[in-house]
Amino acid sequence: MRKIAEIIIHCSATPEGKDFTVEDIRRWHLARKFADIGYHYVIYRDGSVHKGRAENIAGAHCLGHNAHSIGICYIGGVAKDGKTPKDTRTPQQKQALRQLVQQLQFVYPHATVHGHNEYSSKACPSFNVQTEL
């Protein structure tokens, strides 16, 4: 079993109001020569949680942190223009994210929670994880 030290939150950087799936993201990541989808979980706009990469396999979501982290991605993260960072989470996504993080912290009690933007110059996940989770 991998030693999980971090739970890292991401957005899909897709326009608000548009639905995308695990399979869409998998296709994008395979086109970038990833072995599979980079995230372990994806939260759809309706709040449903979908598995991506298996938890026992290192992700491909945060350079330098993949070996010891779980990656969670919510669908959205940019305004309708497709460029401007924006917290587009639906109430259902917010609730699902809180519940998923709680479940993961139960399994990995020493894991800390971070936004991708804490390790990158990107705005992702387009909200402040430290003040909200």
Residue from 10, 40, 86, 114 carrying the catalytic annotation: 10
Q: How far apart are CA 106 and CA 112, in angstroms?
A: 12
Q: 10 catalytic, yes or no?
A: yes
Q: 108 catalytic, yes or no?
A: no
Q: How far apart are CA 82 and CA 7, in angstroms?
A: 26
Q: Please name the helix (run of DSSP H) or strand (run of DSSP E) that holds residue 100, with its range, or none.
A: helix 91-107
Residue from 18, 68, 94, 122 carrying the catalytic annotation: 122
Q: How far apart are CA 65 and CA 10, in angstroms?
A: 13
Q: 18 catalytic, yes or no?
A: no
Residue from 39, 41, 44, 108 carrying the catalytic annotation: 39
Query: Which residues are known to be catalytic?
Result: 10, 39, 116, 122, 124
